[in-house]
Structure 1
Amino acid sequence: MAAKLTTDTPGQIGLLRTANRFVLAPMSRASAYKDGTPTAAMARYYAEFAKGGFGLLIAEGAFTDDVFAQSYSNQPGLVTDAHQAGWAQVVTAVKAEGGRIILQLIHAGAVSQHVDTPHAPSAIRPKGSMLVGYGHKQGAYGIPEVLSLDDIDNVVGGFVSAAKRAERAGFDGVEIHCANGYLLDQFLTPESNTRTDKYGGDIANRLRLTCDILSEVKARATTGFLVGVRLSQAKATEPDYFWHNGLQDAGQIFDSVAAAGADFIHLASEAKGYAYHSATKSGENLTSFAKRLTGLPVIANGGLQDVSLANEILGADQADFVAVGKTALLNPDLPKRLRAGLPLRAFSYDMFKYGVTIDAQEKWTQEQTVNV
């Protein structure tokens, strides 16, 4: 196995070539203007990761319509011309540093902490409580209203329109969010989808909406614009959730998204780490299975700031890229630090003492500098 695969080996997704195998994982920062327009601070924030050597950035989830999609207050969107112009400034700043950037597209569904009446596949209350620090709503989730077939058509249209805007803003691609308990994952999950129409029942029907979105977005994208998908077993409020039938379910999911046109698969395992959730409940590795089954590039996730583990995964051909989230917040120059043999700053939840926004992080960082 070659040394330092993550930092030294170029990567390839479709026609996009990256300088290395490190990916910035998408992380919600709730730092847009009230109307969802990205800010100059967001442009500076993302440019730091490009400057710090990440081969690819995946920007935080942008909401795809102004009816039911928004997750929380100050979340960025990609619905209006102003949103598009704001994101274009982010892309320009990143590419000025030589970076590559993909935008994640997301619909909250039942777990929205922003809309008055969340809508979802079925009228089932999500487990757990709303995320602290996000949105003006807190406490237990409510029971959502059921999306009609017309509503579902509008959901597809929202993703397609947002993807076209992302391309016009200069992004290298989009990532369709079917993970962590958000809307598309709610459709996929039998506990949150009890529909009896073409979007409910067996796993093919429950995955239909995600595949429809992938195929529609891909059909309208120009050559070279990437359309990937993020999947996970765990939910934000259910960290021990596993796909019921292990490799059987995984095989159907991976095959289906590949057939729908996905250019890459990003398997999120952040809740309890790569070893725990990039495997079935009985221990079969899912990232390597996805690679073998589909031939698509696979992004692994979950504690992979550990460069030895990251290199082991890539060296064993279990994945093609490794995505790093929280540790990157304190190490926007993570690839450069690892290449130089410098230690990483350990992540601490204390950094959110003033909130989860970019401004709150900067305030905390300045405080640490003063106290050193």
Structure 2
Amino acid sequence: MSIPLLQVSGLKKHYPMRSGLLRAGGGTVRAVDGVDFAVARGETLGLVGESGCGKSTVGRLLAKLLAPTSGTICLDGQPIDRLGSRATRDFRRRVQMVFQDPYSSLNPRLTAARIVAEPLLNYGRIPRAELHERLQALFMKVGLRADQMQRYPHEFSGGQRQRVGIARALALSPSLIVCDEPVSALDVSVQAQVINLMMDLQAELGLSYLFIAHDLAVVEHISHRIAVMYLGKIVELADKHRLIGAPQHPYTQALLSAAPVADAAIRRQRIVLSGDVPSPAQPPAGCRFHTRCPHALPRCRSEEPRLRDVAPGHAVACHLAPSTDAAVDPAPA
């Protein structure tokens, strides 16, 4: 099997809590607490879950905006925590990020052209004489006109601002783009346009995406595989058709039952979860979902389920899932 573009193993990010001014000792917030997955070249992996489950933290760890507490992130088989300064610079070129809020992620004092040009100038990727032509090509690629290049962020609509953010991410010809809820702040009609643009860019440029969102309909549309997170851990990972059609984890089933479906014939019976999501500073013993799970067994309260294969390419962390002796392979099938 070929090496995936991105391989994540045992990834954790813990934050110490403060019990007093400038003093530690107040416990630990386990934002990400042992995550394993892979992203192949040209693939989109969707990462879904409720607010506070740790999915955005995973994205920032992959983009090296945060340092992991432990675990390994490998790009083309090379751990990124062992990179020297020159290799780190190349890594930042190859892994770009599109943020949730297309306004706050753009410098309001710079024109759109300057915003998109900044990474090209920082990396010296293009002679200044060719810069304008390159910028025009990038604007056209994301559906913006050349005469909009000198506008400031406040002069664009939300969808147009996100297109500027996508153009900036594309400027250095990356291999992987981490998309942190890139359409959640947009109107539904605009969401579809931006998602279709990203899919077209992927087909044209061979991009890989980690697409972080809480909207299952959006994730299903753009993703090849979907990983479901709950309280810092991945509880289910599968091809999108299998995960949507035959979810095995009770949390995934509850999420799908809450997703709006226009066709009443295929609408799922709503599963209403009791209680609130536990604090990541004090996660429950055993299965982290057992405090809200309608099918919890005594075993669930004391023994944490491992993420294991229940079918080829379908991994579930649940004691109730069908048993198999196969080891988990977080890489794409």
Provide TM-score, normalisation by structure 1.
0.38
Instruction: Work out which of the two has the higher radius of gyration on C-alpha atoms and give 1 or 2.
Output: 2
Greater share of residues in helix: 1
Greater share of residues in strand: 2
Of structures 1 and 2, the one scoring higher in RCO (CA 8 A, sep 6+) is: 2
